[in-house]
Amino acid sequence: MFQGRRKELVTRRTYQEDFMRSAEKAGLPPEFTPHSLRHSFGTQLLRNGVDIVVVADLMGHATLDTTRSYTR
């Protein structure tokens, strides 16, 4: 998904480590993870009136029930 400095694809683990290191430098709590960022993105879309079907598609959800969990 992301390209590294040597034009190779970045592994999931490398991305997670880089993300956590950056979050720590920014003073964010350890609970702030790539997944929590994804959840925040979906939640904000819904709160700002984006249609749930559009959000489900953006998030790659197979069912609207998964997307509805972002409204809780």
26 and 43, same structural domain? no
Range of the domain at 26: 1-32
28 and 48, same structural domain? no
Domain count, the chain: 2
Compute the distance between CA of residue 50 and CA of residue 55 in angstroms, rounded to an integer.
7
Q: Are 4 and 15 in contact (CB under 8 A)?
A: no
56 and 39, same structural domain? yes
Determine the pLDDT at residue 29.
93
Which residue ranges of the chain lie beneath pLDDT 70? 1-5, 7
| pTM exceeding the 0.85 threshold for the entire prediction | no
What pLDDT digit, counting tens, does each position of 23-39 carry? 999 999 988 888 888 89
